[in-house]
Chains A and B, each alone.
Chain A
Amino acid sequence: MARDRTPAELAGAAPEAAFEITFDGRALPALPGQSVAAALWSAGIVAWRTTRRGGRARGAFCGIGQCYDCLVVINDRPNRRACLVPARPGDTITTQEGDGHAGLAV
């Protein structure tokens, strides 16, 4: 039972060099071609949004862009689907609170 295997080893991945993104100010490595959600999962992070009413933590659920549970703030733009958006060097990822538009409130 090969427990030390990873999906990357299984697929014979030889990715290009990792780069850095930040999540709530903390530096994380990400691989070129990985979605923001995949980079966060790689770092053991499974929640990056709080709900509008209950303030409960959420992260990726459907993994294919259908459920919108993985919404997150990427470079100051809220409501981006982390499971679809590729991570790019220097991306600033921030936990999205509620609707992500608190700054627009009047």
Chain B
Amino acid sequence: MPDSPSDEVTDDAYEAPYDLAVIGAGCAGLAGAVTASELGLSVALLDASGQIGGQFYRRPAPALGAKRPEALHHDWSAFADLRGRLEASEVVHLAGHHVWAVTRGSEGGAGWAVHAVTGPDGGGDRPVRVRARTVLLATGAYERHLPFPGWTLPGVVGAGGAQAMMKSGLVLPGSRVVVAGSGPLLLAVASSLATAGAHVPAVVEASGYLGYARRPGVLAANPQKLVEALVHGAALLRYGVRLRTRSAVTEVHGSDRVEAVTVSRVDRDWRPVRGAGRRIACDALAVGHGLVPQTELATGLGCATRRTPDGAYALVLDGLQETSVPGLWAAGETGGIGGAQLARAEGDIAGIAVAARVYGQPALTRDGRVRKLQRRRDRMRAFADVMAAAHAPGPGWVRWPDDTTEVCRCEEVTAGAIREAVTDYGAHDARTVKLLTRAGMGWCQGRVCGAAVACLAAGPGDGSVPPSAERRPLAVPVPLGVLGALEPDDAGADSTGRPDATGPDPGAEQTS
């Protein structure tokens, strides 16, 4: 079915329980939804955006009349295929649905309740709830950021953010845009910005690219990744974009907005090397240090997590994409950053696995199609691990921020305040730093500063300590009037949870 704005969804969409609720309409969620639907399941596909595609296939709203949206994307045909299958399917697409919690269904915990707020930014005045026998989490990722002096100046934007704004709004943050940070996304961002008319004086990558060379076998098994890199490389060459590896933007200059950046050489631990940096004039900086799986809906239900090679936390999944909580599957970046093709393969596997569970026919998962998908998935996961290790933040980044640099953008908490909490008040973990400084307690709930705060909390000399698995009991803000308007039986036996099942957990709770 076509994209349907939330205000056109009829009440029927919320009545009957679905076989499967898919959260997230990016590559993984789309693949899972159409695969399950094609196997005969009733499927609801909830997504925050007004259009399908997720972040990778973000595109202009129809009113912008883009005749060649594919010019902003790679691998458009794969998306066109998924979109066609979705339109031909019975999947109920609930656009503009921001899921704030998934809870166990009422009366004995059978199935799930998916709670959402609606509208472009979740400002709708009515709560909605979708019931489903199974849930597939395909909530994707967000960008990891590390602080440095000047990174809060207007004109500094996330690398992924610059790309998202260009793909959906056809706009650029400036005319001379330095792209910096770490990770393969930087090359993609720089090549699309340059192709779309921005002048990109430099791509600044803190890691080297030698990390890939250490695992030649994995590279050879993933030739499509080399092709992608070549496409980006060719674009950068064509537009005269200089790639500076083992370098980082260590300061942004400007009073009201970005006027220039200082690029410094860094050692293999990302520690700035002594000597004057190079000043590059620009009016915008697009910066990011890789992606972090968005897992809070799963961790809120107790799903197990694992540390990824770049120190983030991803969901632990079995061979058929099921989380450690039965009845809850995940696909795509939630299980570890791996890109669009991997997400599609995982979505396909999850869709089949869910159908097998709902029908009580495990044989569905034992045919050649699943085995082939699993082999593809494992091959791409291996490459993703190499990629994550190659671009993992080096511990030396903690020397970038000075004491006045804001680390938590929401609550305006400086690196100095965090260092004081660590050295003078005995805070050695992100939670205690948060309690003592408010870092991570603002609107974004630590999504932007979480990785940095965890590293700074670990104290001097160790910037590599990872954040704890994300726990955000409300995945998005919910108006109190909307919360209070829930029907009492909505919640039903939610609170029965797992009495006494968990031990004392001094973990990642938050407070004011």
* Direct touch of chains A and B (CB < 8 A): yes
- Residues of A near any B CB (own CB < 8 A): 1-16, 31-35, 37-39, 41-42, 46-47, 51-54, 56-69, 71, 77, 79-81, 83-86
Query: Within the complex, what minimum Cβ distance (angstroms) separates A63 from chain B?
Result: 3
Say whether B444 contacts A67, CB under 8 Å.
yes
Say whether A63 contacts B158, CB under 8 Å.
yes
Say whether B239 contacts A64, CB under 8 Å.
no
Which of the candidate stretches B159-167, B336-344, B488-496 sits at the interface with the other chain?
B159-167
Q: Does B66 lie at the interface of the complex (its beta carbon under 8 Å from any beta carbon of A)?
A: yes
- Nearest B residue to A40 via CB reads B171
> With A and B bound together, what is the CA distance between A11 and B58 in angstroms?
13
Q: Does B169 lie at the interface of the complex (its beta carbon under 8 Å from any beta carbon of A)?
A: yes
Chain A residues whose C-beta falls within 8 Å of the C-beta of B257 in the assembled complex: 46-47, 57
Say whether A1 contacts B240, CB under 8 Å.
yes
Interface size class of B (residues with CB under 8 A): 35 or more
Chain A residues whose C-beta falls within 8 Å of the C-beta of B161 in the assembled complex: 60-64, 67, 83
Given contacts A15-B64, A63-B161, contact A10 B195 (CB under 8 A): yes
- Nearest B residue to A64 via CB reads B164
Say whether A51 contacts B412, CB under 8 Å.
yes
> With A and B bound together, what is the CA distance between A6 and B163 in angstroms?
14
Question: Would you give 21 A-B contacts (Cβ < 8 Å), ordered by A?
Answer: A3-B197, A4-B197, A7-B166, A7-B170, A11-B60, A12-B68, A13-B67, A13-B170, A34-B169, A46-B284, A54-B412, A60-B165, A61-B156, A62-B160, A64-B164, A66-B448, A68-B442, A69-B444, A79-B443, A84-B121, A85-B120
When the two chains form the complex, which single residue of A38, A47, A67 contacts B170, counting CB atoms closer than 8 Å?
A: A38
Q: Does B447 lie at the interface of the complex (its beta carbon under 8 Å from any beta carbon of A)?
A: yes
When the two chains form the complex, which single residue of A3, A5, A13, A64 contacts B60, counting CB atoms closer than 8 Å?
A: A13
> With A and B bound together, what is the CA distance between A10 and B69 in angstroms?
8
Say whether B142 contacts A12, CB under 8 Å.
no
Say whether A61 contacts B240, CB under 8 Å.
no
Residue among A4, A8, A58, A80 having the largest count of chain B Cβ atoms under 10 Å: A8
Say whether A32 contacts B64, CB under 8 Å.
yes
When the two chains form the complex, which single residue of A3, A6, A34, A66 contacts B61, counting CB atoms closer than 8 Å?
A: A34
Chain B residues whose C-beta falls within 8 Å of the C-beta of A35 in the assembled complex: 165, 168-169
